[in-house]
Chains A and B, each alone.
Chain A
Amino acid sequence: NAGVTQTPKFRVLKTGQSMTLLCAQDMNHEYMYWYRQDPGMGLRLIHYSVGEGTTAKGEVPDGYNVSRLKKQNFLLGLESAAPSQTSVYFCASSNRPDYTFGSGTRLTVV
């Protein structure tokens, strides 16, 4: 049972480049989330999904887009990366009550 898998684990982007982060869960969870974690800021919610085909904005959605075409996958896209998007990105899934997290993606934008 893999749980929540994030790919890639590390990535360096140049300003203006685009990329997609993939989150895959094998627990048949309805809810999925993307957070970013920055020093001193804690985890902040970027976007989330309450089921296949649904997405919604979280606390810090600007500069990101998401898609949930299949229940098990939640994709986070950066269309034009900026240095301010340098962070560690975590995906989580839930079927209530608790959350399961992936191991994170460390993204650096130079």
Chain B
Amino acid sequence: KQEVTQIPAALSVPEGENLVLNCSFTDSAIYNLQWFRQDPGKGLTSLLLIQSSQREQTSGRLNASLDKSSGRSTLYIAASQPGDSATYLCAVVGEASGTYKYIFGTGTRLKVLA
């Protein structure tokens, strides 16, 4: 059974710092990995999607990498801003999953201090 873990559970950094959020998964046979952002009381917003054949994806100040063999993904946020404060979730879907079901981690709650 696939399990997704995110460390740390919470993180507080001063504005301007570069930071890394970690996601690990137990079954390396994944089809996709997706990073989401969730603001308090809101839904999930897709940030980056990495397909199994890709190693990384970039969008603005965000860069996500994927190492399937080690079961890890990292989300790098450059020059953090208070507006980046949110919970960040990663989710994976298995290669054999014809039903395309995502399994989610429990998230990292990020607070960027002004």
Contacts and interface: CB of A to CB of B under 8 A. Distances in A.
Given A33-B101, A103-B42, A98 B106 contact: no
Interface string A18-62: 000000000000010101000011111100101000001010000
B108 to A, nearest CB: 11
Q: Classify the interface of chain B: helix, strand, loop or mixed.
A: strand
B83 interface: no
B99 interface: yes
A50 B99 contact: yes
Contact of B89 (A31, A42, A97, A100): A42
Contacts of B31: 97
A48 B102 CA distance: 11
A46 B44 CA distance: 17
Interface of B: 4, 31-32, 34, 36, 41-46, 49, 51, 89, 91, 98-107
